[in-house]
Amino acid sequence: MTSNILIVEDEHIVALDLKMSLEDLGHHVVATVAFGEEVLENACRHRPDLVLMDIKLAGAMRGTEAAKLVHHHLQLPVIFLSAFCDSAILEQARHCLPYGYLIKPYDRKELDASIQMALCRHQADQKIKKSEQRLQMAMEAAQLGLWELDTTRNTLISSGIVSELLSNPPEIICDGLEKLRQLFHPSEHQRLLKLLEKDRPINVVMRLLDGIPPRWVELFARKFNSQNEELVVGVMRDITSQQQSQHQLRQAYAVFQTTAEGILILDQEFKVLSANPAFSTITGYSSNEVLGLHPEQFLYPSYTNSPQPARLSEIKSSHWSGEVVCLCRDLSSFPAWQHICKVKSPQPGMHNSHYVLTFSNISALRRAEDNLAKLAFHDHLTGLGNRAKLEKTLKIEVERAARNKTMLGVMYLDLDGFKLVNDTLGHHVGDRLLQVVAQRIGNLTRAGDTAIRVGGDEFVIITPDASHPSFYHRVAEKLLRSINEDIELDNSNVAVSCSIGIACFPEDATTYDELLKCADLAMFAAKDSGRNRYSFFNIAMANRTQERVFIEKELKQALLSGVGLDIYYQPIIDLKQHTFYGVEALIRWFHPEHGQISTEKFIQVAEQSNLIVEVGAWVIERVCQDIRQLTEINAELKISLNLSVRQLEDELLLQRIDQAVRLHSVNPACLQYEITETALQDLEGKVDLLTALRERNSTIAIDDFGTGFSSLSRLKNLPINCVKIDRSFVMTIPHQSNDVEITKAVCALCQALQLKVVAEGVETVQQQQFLQQLQCDYAQGYLFAKPMPLSALSGWSLLFESQRQTLQ
């Protein structure tokens, strides 16, 4: 038998002679190693059939140590070939489990015979080992535990579940019968003893001692007798789940009878076997009426009108969920959420034994979502579309115009003199004015046009499929004339005009945001030209971008130097306790030459240039610096920081926050991070980030709630603590009924979801009292305080506290 052999010998002459002898005997020497430290590496590389190992080697490692490594890692047979054979060395060699031990000088025939016997023995050992492994795997696959009771010696050997129940006993434990008996419930002890006394095979189910709920096992065993011993050998299997099945079936039946969802049990051919009471309540059919029928015969309308994706028999997966339209017995229909599950048959050769079809009426949910969608895409004051509608519609129209090679126009309108009406006649008159203007805009738009109120007194009209740019001239002139007509409000004639900017696709821009930007620039050009006119975008208007470039450049310098930037804090009041609850951190920029730069203006530039990430990082760092002074004013103060969408997309956001928190020894629990509701639609994949902030004991708030789109399902699944009602709703309460109802709905929704509510823009005592009636938690606004520098906050806090105590 030819074999590959690794020689481990530090004497070169001996190693060479040994190699020649082995090759003469027909073996192949894969390598010769002199150092014990090199043995394992060479064995791994060459994978020899056998290792011939000297014990005393060059280097620190002895041959016996190297043999242990080879045996442990590769299970290769090792034959020691040494000139030493004293008892100490033999004892060391014995612990290495060698396959032979030869004394130098060796006899070639004896060497060859030892190698052949070692290889044969190794092959036999490997077969035994594989057989034992297969047996062990079979036992594990069957989840069986082995136990062997020697009744003569009263010892017990166990493995698997039996060993686990015995708390990992040694290989053999004494007092075996008692240990085995103690595994079971006292009510089983006598039965076990009687079974062990009998000679016939044992197959019983017994209750274990431990387990809540109770655990059950099945025992298989047989007694074996010989001249010197009596053994009981058996296996044990946990069948607790099977014992629980009957109990679970009873529970399932109770659920089947009492659940509010309609349930149909179907056979292999999808014919009804049974129906629960809720099915009859929802559809009006009795269970007897539908027995033996296919659901498609009575439950669904025609497939052309139903969102059902496929016939029941065509569903390939093991389960399917989705929305469908279902019919009642009176042929009325309702939207339903349906789930169908295939139940596998326990019989071999049969794929499914039956099907379970469940459905629930989601009419109320759809109505709520329709109302929310209307709020999400429509301006609550004018009924026109809102910003969300603008973005969605304009993106679609740009893609369609590019695909069809047609013209698309965007008209950006801004009212002239609207601020004067608001300031002189009041916001309620201003709101009525906006409604009349919106109605006039709507009257002049075509069926395919989309009218949007962007915000304040700004409107956008999306006009696709124009045949020629002259079309926009005619529309703009009609708009100017219509809006210029006097409007009678509160017995007063109010006259306003508008400035209109017009941009066309593809002449002026080819993307959604650039097209809107061009129309906006054209509108400002119309205002600069004297107002009450319209202007088409041209390249000269791009000069307006110079301001943006200037702001971007100077803002970068301010961030680098830290000069001119500051944080103002606006107090937040606890309406229930009338206490100083927290502050919102607001960035301010005071340019050394141009004075205070509008926050809205430079934040918009920061968003567009991606500087917002650096601005946000500066705010986080500065607020963390200020927290020590803030907590000296009020130890339990909650500090709110605004996070933009761009910041949430920053992979380093958590790192920046953690670094600032550690550097300034900030308790994260005092921090609250605010994200705008309109940013929720851009949060795909960012929920984990918000969750990570929550896990740092900070809180999350949705800012400007009501101005964007939030479905109920999405809101409840976000890791948020607080909702801030946008000031546009608060400023008109309790006089504007729409805003009143929206505010009530938001407060009720948050109370149901156990979220805190903050009302922004509170300016009157009436607003405060109305919010308190709605159980609103907190408020901020000019009624309490304007944003102020940190140096002024302490004095305000003392004044507020003294006023509060005086009122009490």
pLDDT in tens, 278-310: 999 999 999 898 899 998 888 888 754 545 545
Query: What CATH number is attached to the domain comprising 611?
Result: 3.20.20.450
Same domain, 389 and 513: yes
Q: Are residues 664 and 563 in the same domain?
A: yes
In a domain, 247, yes or no: no
Supply the CATH number for residue 335's domain. Answer: 3.30.450.20
Does 553 share its domain with 529?
A: no
Neighbours of 23 (CB within 10 A): 12
20 occurs within a structural domain: yes
Q: Taking residues 660-665, what's their average pLDDT?
A: 93
For residues 512 and 624, membership in a common domain is answered with no
Residue that terminates a domain, selected from 106, 135, 164: 135
Q: Is 131 in the same domain as 148?
A: no
The total domain count for the chain is 5
CA distances from 692 to 51, 258, 387 (A): 56, 40, 30
Instruction: Give the integer Cα–Cα distance in Å for 763 and 780.
Output: 9
Provide the residue range defining the domain that includes 571.
Answer: 549-797
Q: 191 and 121, same structural domain?
A: no
Q: What is the mean pLDDT of residues 182-201?
A: 82
Q: Is the peptide bond before 213 cis (omega within 30 degrees of 0)?
A: yes
Q: Is the pLDDT of residue 551 over 50?
A: yes
Q: What is the mean pLDDT of the chain?
A: 85
785 & 679 share domain: yes
- Residue 803 belongs to a domain: no
In a domain, 573, yes or no: yes
Handedness of CA 74, 79, 83, 85 (dihedral sign): positive
Q: Is residue 251 part of a domain?
A: no
Residues 285 and 343 in one domain: yes
Q: What is the CA radius of gyration of the chain?
A: 42
> What is each CA distance from 259 to 174, 255, 321, in whole angstroms?
54, 5, 18
366 lies in some domain: no
254 in a domain, yes or no? no
Mean pLDDT of the region 170-185: 78
The pLDDT of residue 5 is above 90: yes
DSSP one-letter string for 475-507: HHHHHHHHHHS-EEETTEEE--EEEEEEEEETT
Q: Are residues 727 and 753 in the same domain?
A: yes
Residue 51 is part of a domain; what is its CATH number? 3.40.50.2300
Enter the DSSP assignment of 58: B
Last residue of a domain, one of 511, 537, 563: 537
Cβ pair 262, 283 in contact under 8 A: yes
Lowest-pLDDT range, 123-132, 135-144, 570-579, 702-711?
702-711
Is residue 81 within 8 A of residue 102, CB to CB? The reply is yes
Q: What is the pLDDT of residue 772?
A: 92
* Co-location of 602 and 521 in the same domain: no
Residue count of the chain? 808
581 in a domain, yes or no? Answer: yes
Range list of β-strands (E), 226-382: 230-238, 262-266, 272-275, 319-327, 333-344, 352-361
Around 193, how many Cα atoms within 13 Å sit in the side-chain half-sphere?
9
CA within 13 Å, CB half, 605 = 18
Same domain (yes/no): 611, 673: yes
Over the stretch 575-588, which tens digit does the pLDDT of each residue have? Answer: 998 899 999 999 99
Picking from 620, 603, 709, 683, the residue whose alpha carbon sits closest to that of residue 380 is 709
> pTM of this prediction?
0.40
Residue 352 shares a structural domain with residue 455: no
**Structural domain ending residue among the three candidates 117, 135, 153:** 135
